[in-house]
């Protein structure tokens, strides 16, 4: 067979793209790229709590150091800040001072600690050493942590006077952030 080019045949067609193929390709690739680009800045581990805007789960837990159980209902009408923490959690040390100071500053707000997977003796020693201006509650079976959808410590919930969760903050808090979130919680109260 001769391999000489046949006049008037193929070469012109090779560079032309079938518009249907192009459209089908774009229909598949563009949405995938859009999803990718939109989620580039998102941390896949940070999941928005479904509890935000909903009533806070009820609990009744004994405070560290003894005493009658404390429930959330008894603070109805006041904003409540619930901080899940543990003595084995290093970021919790950092925010402990800020929370203690904030509890003294914002007298109208009730601060509560909930001890997450820790022993009472260690917790008591920690609080005796570092001081505290609000009660910490024991949650030995993790019921409150599960009800609040806690993934780890520290996690802090800001609850308005009507008992609704307004904000959830993951990670150590500083004074500025506490003040901002308390202001938002008060603003959200009816």
Binding track, positions 33-52, relative to other proteins; x by CB under 8 A: --------------xxxxx-
Q: How many residues bind other proteins (CB under 8 A)?
A: 25
Cβ-based nearer residue to other proteins, 102 or 150: 150
- In the list 60, 94, 106, 149, the residue contacting other proteins (rule: CB under 8 A) is 149
Kindly state whether residue 84 participates in binding other proteins, applying the rule CB under 8 A. no
The burial of 43, by beta-carbon neighbours within 10 Å (0-12 exposed, 13-18 middle, 19 or more buried), is given as exposed
Please list every residue from 102 through 131 that binds other proteins, using CB under 8 A: 117
Distance CA 32, CA 25 (A): 11
Query: What are the CA-CA distances from residue 133 to residues 60, 136, 146 (Å)?
Result: 20, 10, 25
Kindly state whether residue 71 participates in binding other proteins, applying the rule CB under 8 A. no
Kindly state whether residue 179 participates in binding other proteins, applying the rule CB under 8 A. no
Q: Exposure pattern of 9-37 as b/e (b: 16+ CB <10 Å)?
A: eeeeeeeeeeeeeeeeeeeeeeeeeeeee
- In the list 60, 119, 132, 152, the residue contacting other proteins (rule: CB under 8 A) is 152
């Amino acid at each position: 067979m001769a391999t000489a080019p046949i006049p008037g045949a193929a070469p012109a067609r090779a560079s032309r793209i079938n518009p249907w193929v192009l459209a089908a390709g774009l229909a598949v690739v563009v949405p995938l790229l859009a999803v990718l680009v939109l989620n580039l800045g998102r941390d896949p581990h940070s999941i928005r709590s479904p509890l935000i805007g909903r009533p806070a789960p009820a609990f009744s837990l004994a405070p560290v150091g003894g005493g009658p159980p404390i429930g959330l209902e008894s603070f109805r009408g006041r904003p409540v800040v619930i901080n899940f923490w543990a003595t084995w959690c290093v970021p919790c040390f950092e925010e402990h001072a800020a929370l203690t100071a904030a509890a003294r500053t914002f007298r109208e707000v009730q601060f509560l600690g909930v001890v997450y997977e820790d022993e009472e003796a260690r917790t008591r020693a920690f609080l005796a050493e570092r001081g505290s201006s609000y009660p910490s509650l024991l949650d030995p079976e993790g019921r409150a942590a599960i009800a609040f959808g806690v993934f780890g410590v520290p996690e802090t919930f800001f609850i308005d006077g009507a008992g609704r969760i307004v904000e959830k903050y993951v990670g150590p808090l500083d004074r500025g952030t506490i003040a901002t979130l308390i202001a938002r919680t008060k603003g959200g109260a009816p």
